[in-house]
Chains A and B, each alone.
Chain A
């Protein structure tokens, strides 16, 4: 009984540590994605970098939600995913259509 409880606590500790590390690591990746956005040579690369930036931001929000133990951050991530998707589609259509007349 005591060993069971002990192993459960140990596992919860590991999970907590890994969650915090994952949060920090995602934040680092967010910085890398920002670097990618700054280095993008043209519109399409920039668009892709923005897509990746939104994805890493979703990762940061999700891991933050695990660390804090509340669900609101995941809802924010959902809204972000929706907006990022719409933005990507519209921008890509614009790049394809640019300069063409009806």
Chain B
């Protein structure tokens, strides 16, 4: 038995073994839908499968092939494990979901409630900005049958940097949920793992929420000038209207209208939602040219619709730069909430940045509710 025969026999078994392992791995990959089970199966292909086949190079008897193959094998052994680790890490951030306080926290809709109740998601992370959002939610008179979901979205880094390490997110969520709970309003708390903005958007879509409430964390001057805030990012991507909370009460509302589709969506929210029942609504329109008659008509038409819905309405027409006039009017009239329409995200990417809604959101002192035309919205009466 010569050396070549021995090496050849080893090479044959290595080739068969490598192919068998790779086949088993690929079968596992095809039949297991879960990412982590797939990672387990992929490990067979990218690790032992490749290495066995590369080691079979000893059967060729050519020094240059053996050298290159051993180099590749060493490289693959190092990088394969790192790749698997990185993908698993990304998967943990994306998919991990932990219920905050057991099964008893499921929302219980009150008996006899009708369809007027809202589904609301409040993004809460224990920060001062998020507390403003929950304070505002506590001050709002929600219609009976409303289900509020307090959502604490976190990944490891932000959880570690939480302001108060003594209070765990679970405990804080439990306390805050108890504070919001009242007759007719069910409050559910959920702790979600993953990149916060993604997790909030995903959960809002999953719950089919009518409204998403977020806090407004003030950023540095440069960042806010560039529109780089988590709230702006959420508003851009949310599937429903978003309330960015800065005030703790809801008594006066400023509705901006220009007769466009998105401002129609905004005025319909104010007319339909029961949370505006006890508020005074200021309807304003900003015109570029000296007040034209048709602009007055837009305001009057909107005001008439709101009065039909039982709202207490004041109207005004201003001239000038839209966003600055809206912010000024909100400040002068001591407004708690500006309601403004936005086209939302289109195929070309973010549209909020640079829009009137985006400018108002960045500059206003009060809360801002951003409405958008919704496909599943019932037709206007």
- A-B complex is real: yes
Q: Which residues of A contact B (CB under 8 A)?
A: 4, 7-8, 11-12, 14-15, 18-19, 22, 25-26, 29, 32-33, 35-36, 39, 41, 44-45, 47-49, 51-52, 55-56, 58-59, 62-63, 65-66, 69-71, 74-75, 77-78, 81-82, 85, 88-89, 92-93, 95-102
Looking at chain A's contact residues, the main secondary structure is helix
**In contact, A78 and B50 (Cβ under 8 angstroms):** no
Which of B38, B65, B229 counts the most A-chain CB atoms under 10 A from its CB?
B65
Distance in Å from the Cβ of A27 to the closest Cβ of chain B? 11
Chain A interface: which of B2-10, B131-139, B268-276, B354-362?
B2-10
| B119 CB to nearest chain A CB (Å) | 23
Output the nearest chain B residue to A101 by Cβ-Cβ distance. B228
Contacting pair B29 A89 (CB below 8 A) = no
Indicate whether B83 reaches chain A with its CB closer than 8 angstroms.
Answer: yes
Bound CA span A70–B57, Å? 11
A4 to chain B, nearest CB (A): 7
* B233 pairs with A101, CB closer than 8 A: yes
B225 at the A/B interface (Cβ < 8 Å)? no
Least CB separation from A74: chain B residue? B68
Q: Which residue of chain A is the closest to B196 with respect to CB atoms?
A: A100
In the bound complex, CA of A100 to CA of B91 (Å): 16
Contact B87 A88 (CB under 8 A): yes
Selecting from B19-27, B102-110, B170-178, B259-267, the interface stretch reads: B19-27
Known: A26-B19, A32-B30, A36-B29. A12 touches B4 (CB 8 A): yes
Are A33 and B53 in contact, CB atoms less than 8 angstroms apart?
no
Nearest residue, chain B, Cβ from A85: B79
Query: Is B379's CB within 8 Å of the partner chain A?
Result: no
Q: Which of B39-47, B306-314, B335-343 is near enough to bind chain A? A: B39-47
Whether A52 lies near B233 (C-beta < 8 A) is: no
A8 close to B54 (CB less than 8 A): no
Partner of A81, one of B12, B79, B198: B79
Quick check: A22 and B19 within 8 Å, CB to CB?
yes
